[in-house]
Structures are given as structure tokens and as C-alpha cells.
Amino acid sequence: MKDKFGRDIYYLRISVTDRCNLRCIYCMPENGVKFIPHKEILRFEEIIEIVKASTTIGISSVRLTGGEPLLRKGTVELIRMLKDIKGINRVTMTTNGTLLSKYAKELKSAGITSINVSLDTLMPDKFRKITRNGDINDVIEGIKKAVGEGITTKLNVVLQKENLDEAADLIRFSKEMGTTIRFIEYMPLDSCIVLSEDPFVSAKELIRIIEETFGDIAETNYTMGDGPAKYIHIKSLDTEVGIIASISEPFCSRCNRIRLTSDGIIKPCLASNIGYDIKSVLRAKHGEKDIVNTIVNAIEAKPLMHHMNSKKQEIHMNKIGG
């Protein structure tokens, strides 16, 4: 389905839980958040009903997010059920990686298309500072296990001044692991605690440092999945690096997605307070048409662009799934 600006909307990101076993400083405030009561979280059968209805208007790609999706019991089986839905071509997941070593084999068996793993640093002390309680060794072991199982794996790095000096090491690490790396510009959210007073680093600054470190780079038409990353090719390493410049070079004109929160709100844009309550539709007398109409209304409400580069947004990423 196309929205009112002619963008093809075919990608649905689903937060299956707002719980997480980490407390990343750019995701949750220091004093924590009030978690959504269990009865308010969408049941898996409700998620399946939404996805089946969404395929009738062209949704073909689904990504599971959290919080941390692997914390929710049965997430692997949910992936299996989603893969069985006619019209769904891709089922992917974003994870913090801490539980990957436990679930990688099951994820592969369930038919996961690919996974994204959040990894902002390779330094154990800095990792604990960013996540407030995490052990980087858990993530590294998870990445190794996922790659070993043959799962296409991408690393997501939220770029800040505090970790800019690690960009080259992270690229080398990704090459060594057999993964693809993507750097994401820091987004100014009200829930954020930052590592430095002015954390923002632009994509152009990152590219300058990559050129200084590795030499010649080239623009490329390389694509991977349904995300907004643009890729450059580092000739000396023979590898691609993805860059998501959501602030300095907004990609809103080619946005292809809507989001479903864990408590049943369809959000047409991450950086917007607009939301459509689909859970109430599901838990009342309804037919497929009622579900479809709610999704259509959300798509038609997609704004032309975000405003994160002009003001902070009151967003807690653990509730929306990024």
C-alpha cells in the first residue's frame, strides 16, 4: 500500500515486549520505566491476526523487536508462525545479543531471515557504562554462535563522540566475525543519558575518519534487507559499511514502515506521538476488515518527515522497538 506521499509501505516492526535485561543509557532513563502490565501486552495470536490482515494491503516484511525480544517466552515459535503466513517474505529480529548463544540454533531452525545485534563498543568497561549492567562477552559469544549457525547477522552501532574512536576497530571486528556493520546517528530522545555533553557525530564525520584510516572508499548500490542504510565499500578491507544518517540526512522520503508497539498501538512514525489503538479492535467484536481499516488509517497518517533535528522527542525506545 502507498501512503498519501506515494511511499510504498510494506515493512512492519513489531515490539513483542517492553522488558529488557539491559538498561542502555540512550533507551531508558536512569531511574527506569514503568513496565506495561502483562494483560496489556498483545498475545501472540493477536499479533498473528494483525500480520495476516496486514498482508492483504501489502505488508510482506516483519521485524521483531523489544525491549529484548528473546526475553519473551515463545518468541522463537512466534517467528515460526510468522514465517508460515502467506505473503510474509522476511522475518527478522533486532536483539541486544545477550541471549543469542542460547537461542541461535532455535532461531535458525525457526527460519529467521536475519538478525541485527546492537553493539556500540568493544571495551568491556564502556559496555557496562552504556548498558548499565551488561557483559560484552555474552554479546560476542552470541554473535559467534549466530554466524556459526549460518544466520545473516548485522551489527548496529549508535554513533556518539564517546565511541567514534572505536569506529575502525568495530569495522575490523565485523569483518573478522563475518557480519555487516551499520553506524546509526544518535537520535535526541528525552529518555537519553549521554556519554558526552554534545554526543552527536554526523555521517560525514564518520566517513572522513573511515577514509583517513582505511584509504579509498567507494559509494555502492549494495543493499541488505528493508532498512534505510546506505553503504560504502572500503577497498582495502573489501567490505561494506552501512550508515543510517537519520538526523543529518533524513530518509523520510523513502520510509517503508509502520510500527506495532507491544501494547497494541500502530505507530506510523517512530518520531511521532501519533498512534492507533488496534488492541481495542482485536479485543472487541471484529472482523478482518476492522483490523485492516486501523492499519490503513495509520498508514494514511504517516507524516512527511520527522522533526528530531529540531526538538527532542518524548520517546522510550524500549516501548516502541526502535
Q: Distance (Å, rounded) from C-alpha 17 to C-alpha 153? A: 22
> In the structure, what pLDDT confidence band is assigned to residue 308 with cuts at 50, 70 and 90?
low
CATH of 11-320, one of 3.30.1330.60, 3.30.420.40, 3.20.20.70, 3.40.50.1100: 3.20.20.70
Based on its alpha-carbon atoms, the radius of gyration of the chain, rounded to whole angstroms, reads 19
Q: With pLDDT > 70 as the criterion, what percentage of the chain qualifies?
A: 92
Cell of 210: 573511515
pLDDT of 188 higher than 90 = no
Grid cell locating 295:
492499519
Maximum alpha-carbon separation in the chain: 62
The span from the CA of 104 to the CA of 53, in Å, is 29
In this structure, what DSSP letter does residue 307 have?
-
CB 270 within 8 A of CB 24: no
User: Average pLDDT of 139-157?
Assistant: 98
pLDDT tens digits, 216-244 = 999 888 888 888 899 999 999 999 999 99
Band (pLDDT 50/70/90 cuts) for residue 322 is low
pLDDT of res. 206: 96
* Secondary structure class of 258 (helix, strand, coil): strand
Enumerate the domain spans of the chain: 11-320
Each residue's pLDDT tens digit, 24-58: 887 877 777 789 999 999 999 999 999 999 999 99
pTM across the whole model = 0.92
- Report the candidate in 14, 17, 37, 312 with the shortest Cα–Cα distance to residue 188: 312
Task: Give the span between the Cα atoms of 286 and 288, in whole angstroms.
Answer: 7
Kindly state the cell numbers that stand for 103: 537461542
Q: List CB contacts of 195: < 8 A, sequence separation 6 or more.
A: 25, 129, 130, 160, 161, 162, 163
| φ, ψ at 273 (rounded to 5°) | -90, 5
Q: Is the peptide bond before 225 cis (omega within 30 degrees of 0)?
A: no
CA dist., res. 268 & res. 240, Å (int):
30
pLDDT at 191: 47
Cβ–Cβ under 8 Å, residues 51 and 103: no
Output DSSP code: residue 118.
E
Q: With a cut of 50, say whether residue 115 has pLDDT above it.
A: yes
> Mean pLDDT score of the chain, rounded to an integer?
91
* Neighbour count for residue 165 (Cβ, 10 Å): 10
Query: Could you give the CA distance from residue 71 to residue 58 in angstroms, rounded to a whole number?
Result: 30
